[in-house]
Amino acid sequence: MTPRRESIVFSDSGWEVEVHENGAKPVGPAWDKEFSSLLVRLEKPDRILKHDHRGEIGTLEIGDVRYVVKKFTFQSTRLWFRFSSVFLPTLGEIACRNSLSLASDGIATPLPVLLMQQKRNNMVVSSWLVYRFMEGEILTSDNVHEIVDFVKGMHESGWVHRDPHPANFIRTENGIATLDAIKVRHSRSRYLRAYDVILMEHDMPSAPDIYGRDELGLWYFGAKAGHNCIRIYRVIKNGLRKMLGFSRRDRK
């Protein structure tokens, strides 16, 4: 069932909040009347799972329910992301839209409950996405068959993953699910499907054989060549940045 969406605007604090629910308020009975208290809880999660130059992921409990809050740091620190939010979807909007679209096609992924965005001068300066916590076991490269089968199922449903590394998949009591939907794309491109396999091959060398080399055909070699070009470009770019004394901000 695709969650129903209700849009609530907090104009007094500059926050716009989209609520996604299945018949019940997602974060407590009076959360919308105590928004400032909710904001404080989300600003300082109980536990930080990941923090780097791209964003922060943390968990917290409200009542007896666990949630995951994902903060897109680029939206706060990069001027281009702020400016482009006037006419393009933000990172939070893309992740939220992708998660809901995957779920509507029967592809397991954590469902968002709140999309929270703060605006200044019509530009989004903070973008947060709150999910229900999904219990399960993070997969590793040892689970290559399960991961390849899941990604192949996405391909058959008209989706490409674009970030199919083992840590982005989880085994739940209902089967395998993908955790990060921000890069997924609705596409039947054979090149992009082959590129997914190339990305899986980096961590799981047997992925192409399990997927089926005959099925990939020449697209496999084209995707591998494209991937190698991107790697060479990154090496050159990072070398120039280091030589010129630049470094990525907020990287830890």
Domains and CATH numbers, the chain: 4-132 (3.30.200), 137-234 (1.10.510.10)
| Helices then strands, each counted (H, E), the chain | 9, 12
Q: Which of 36-45, 143-152, 156-165 has the lowest mean pLDDT?
A: 36-45
Instruction: Please determine, for residue 114, whether its predicted confidence score (pLDDT) is greater than 60.
Output: yes
pTM metric for this prediction:
0.85
pLDDT at residue 246 above 90? no
CA dihedral 72, 78, 79, 85 (to 10 degrees): -20
Query: What's CA 51's distance to the chain center, in Å?
Result: 14
Look at residue 75 and tell me whether its pLDDT is greater than 80.
no
Residue-level pLDDT at 135:
92
Q: Which of 227, 226, 248 is nearest to 237 (CA)?
A: 248
**Tally of CB atoms within 10 A around 8:** 12
Average pLDDT over the chain reads 87
Amino acid 139: pLDDT: 98
Given a cut of 90, whether residue 164 has pLDDT beyond it is: yes
| pLDDT at 221 > cutoff 90 | yes
- Residue 82 banded pLDDT, cuts 50, 70, 90: confident
For residue 252, pLDDT over 50 is answered with no
* Under 8 Å between Cβ of 127 and 117: yes
- Which residue, among 35, 36, 60, has the nearest Cα to 47 in the 3D structure? 60
Q: Indicate the SS3 state at residue 98.
A: helix
Per-residue confidence (pLDDT) for residue 14, from 0 to 100: 79
Mean pLDDT computed over 88-93: 91
Residue type, 98: N
| pLDDT above 70: percentage of residues in the chain | 87
Q: What count of Cα atoms within 13 Å lies in the side-chain half-sphere of residue 63?
A: 9
Give the residue from 232, 234, 168 showing the smallest Cα distance to 199: 168
Which pLDDT value is given to residue 10?
53
Please spell the DSSP secondary structure of 14-30, one letter per residue: TEEEEEEESSS-TT-TT
Instruction: Provide φ and ψ at 209, rounded to 5°.
Output: -70, -40
Average pLDDT over residues 158-173: 96
pLDDT the model gives residue 169: 98
Q: Between 30 and 73, whose confidence is greater?
A: 73
Yes or no: say if 28 and 63 are a contact pair by the CB < 8 Å rule: yes
Q: pLDDT for 7-46, tens place per residue?
A: 555 555 678 888 776 444 555 555 656 777 788 888 999 9
Tokens of 12: 């007094």
C-alpha 92/C-alpha 71 separation (Å) is 8
